[in-house]
Structure formats: C-alpha cells, structure tokens
Amino acid sequence: MIHQTGELSRFPHILPKFDGRIVGGYEVEIEDFPYQLALLHVGKPLCGASIVSSKTAITAAHCTHDRIQTNYSVRAGSSFIESGGIVIDVNEVHEHPKFDRYLLDYDVSVLKLAEPLVFSPFIQPVKLDEKGRELEPGHMCTVSGWGTLSWGGSFPTKKLQAVDVPKVLDMVCRNAYGHKKVTNRMICHGYGDGGKDACQGDSGGPLVCDGVQIGIVSFGNRCAVKGYPGVYSKISEESIHDHITKFLD
C-alpha cells in the first residue's frame, strides 16, 4: 500500500488498492474469468491485470510506476495467484504519458508480453468498452482479483475472488472524495453502506459489465468503507481508450 506522503497527503482519502482480496465477495474459478491475470514483480504477486489480446494486457499505472520494467511477468490460466497456469514475461510496459502519481489520474499501463498467450477455456481476452459509452447509475458490474479479506489484511488470498458492485453517480463520488480528485478519466462503483469492494492488491484488475471491461481498479478510501465507492480508470474515456488501443496487436 502506498502511504500518504508529500503531495498525496493533500488528498487524505486517496489510497491505491495496491498490495490484493475482494471484500464481501465470493470465490470463483478462472474459467469464469479467463481474462484475469496476476501481475508479478520479481516473481512475487503485485497487482491484477487483464488480457486484451494474445500479447497485450492492461493494468493500473501505479502498479508499474517507478519499478524496473524488466522484472514483470504475468500468471494466466489459474484460479490461484501463486501456482498453476502459465507464467509469461512482460517485454514492454507502456504507462500512460499523463499518469499522475499523486492524483492517480490516467491510471493505466499497457503490458506487452514476451510470447503470445495460447487461448483456451482458461485463457481468453476480454472485450474492451467502446469509446464514449456511458453506463446508467445502478448498472451492476463485477470486479475480480486476489487481495486481502479486509482492510490491512494479509496479501494475497490464494483463490480468485469476485464481487458485484453497482455504478455510482459521478456527483456522489465527487462529493465523497472531492471534486478535484475524481476526474473524467474515472468511474465509481460500490454500495452506499459499504461492505463490498475491491481491496488492497486488487489494483490493476478488471471491472467487467456484461462481458465488457469498463474499468481498471485504481483507488479508494481503504476498502468497502461506507460512503466511499471504489474508483476505477474509465476505459471508455477517450485518452484512456486511445492509449490502450494504440498498443493492441
């Protein structure tokens, strides 16, 4: 978890979901979420990611910022973060050029894999949201990943988790975090009473609605806290969408 120091202290509720369980969720199998990846750094679990083509994946930029880029790999095709499936090295990391490490704006990185993934029932790409598309508030989506069971819990859970969360009005989200903090590159999903959310270590993982990835886990006020929905990078936003599609095969 990135601690609130320097510029980040100006925004006391900004906490990247940085070190990964889904709070209030349920265990799932990888064949139900075959696009899910575990992002590893020096062989150790760091964040979530998702498959968008045979040689391309996406994650949050704060997962790749200020790290040696030759030390990344991904685990695909396994419900378990530390075993099974296949591990492939990451050859290139393309962080959004406007990524703001303090505001977590433009929080997206594109990963190019050293070799193509072989698709199977356990390994499949996810469809990306269309540029400019907007969901109605209340629309239910699913976020998946490996993270802590609760705020401050140990990382990671061994089995893949998922939780269903509704879209929150932009105005409600901005009122919670501050109007300067929630930008047009972000969307918010969660419950007013809390209890269900992505958590530490789920960063970079996919938020999917009806088989389409609309968001990337970015930040929140701890995990599943009442009045604070989870915040996600918005894939349909023009600059986010263009950055991803620029590097597709």
One domain, residues 169 and 67: no
Same domain, 98 and 139: no
Percent of the chain topping pLDDT 70: 80
pLDDT at 153 over 80: no
Q: What is the pLDDT of residue 192?
A: 65
Specify whether 116 is located in the same domain as 48.
Answer: yes
Residue 45 lies in a domain: yes
Residue 85 lies in a domain: yes
Instruction: Provide mean pLDDT across the span 175-202.
Output: 75
Are residues 90 and 172 located together in one domain of the fold?
no
Of the residues 79, 109, 144, 203, which is catalytic? 203
Asked if residue 159 and residue 229 are part of one domain, the reply reads yes
Q: Write b or e for each residue in 105-135: b if 16 or more Cβ atoms lie within 10 A of its Cβ, otherwise e.
A: bbbbbbbebeeebeeeebbbbbebbeeeeeb
Within a domain: residue 4?
no
Residue 129 is among the residues annotated as catalytic for this protein:
no
Classify residue 86 by burial, with Cβ atoms within 10 Å: 0-12, 13-18, 19+.
middle
Could you give the percent of the chain with pLDDT greater than 90?
A: 64
Residue 37, strand partner residues: 49, 76
Select which of 107, 129, 197, 202 is catalytic: 107
Give the tens place of pLDDT for each residue, 93-137: 999 999 999 999 999 999 999 999 999 999 999 999 999 999 999
Looking at the structure, do residues 142 and 205 belong to the same domain, yes or no? yes
Report if residue 2 sits inside a domain: no
Residue 225 binned pLDDT confidence (cut-offs 50, 70, 90): low
Q: How far apart are CA 73 and CA 207, in angstroms?
A: 21
Answer yes or no: 218 catalytic. no
Tell me: do 19 and 141 sit in the same domain: yes
Same domain, 78 and 132: no
Q: What is the pLDDT of residue 223?
A: 59
Domain annotation covers residue 7: no
Domain count, the chain: 2
CATH number at residue 217: 2.40.10.10
Check pLDDT > 50 for residue 17.
Answer: no
Q: Does 136 lie in the same domain as 209?
A: yes
- Assess if residue 6 is contained within a domain: no
Residue range 197-212: mean pLDDT, rounded:
80
20 and 92 share one domain: no
Q: Which domain holds residue 203?
A: 14-24+127-237
- Give the whole-angstrom CA distance, residue 18 versus residue 169: 24
Whether residue 1 is contained in a domain is answered as no
In a domain, 101, yes or no: yes
Residues 119 and 71 grouped into a single domain: yes
User: Is 107 among the residues known to form the active site?
Assistant: yes
Cα angle 190, 138, 225 (rounded to 5 degrees) comes to 15
Judge if 102 and 148 occupy the same domain: no
List the catalytic residue out of 19, 62, 78, 79.
62
- Cβ neighbours of residue 103 closer than 8 Å, sequence gap 6 or more: 11, 14, 180, 181, 183
Mean of per-residue pLDDT scores for the chain = 84
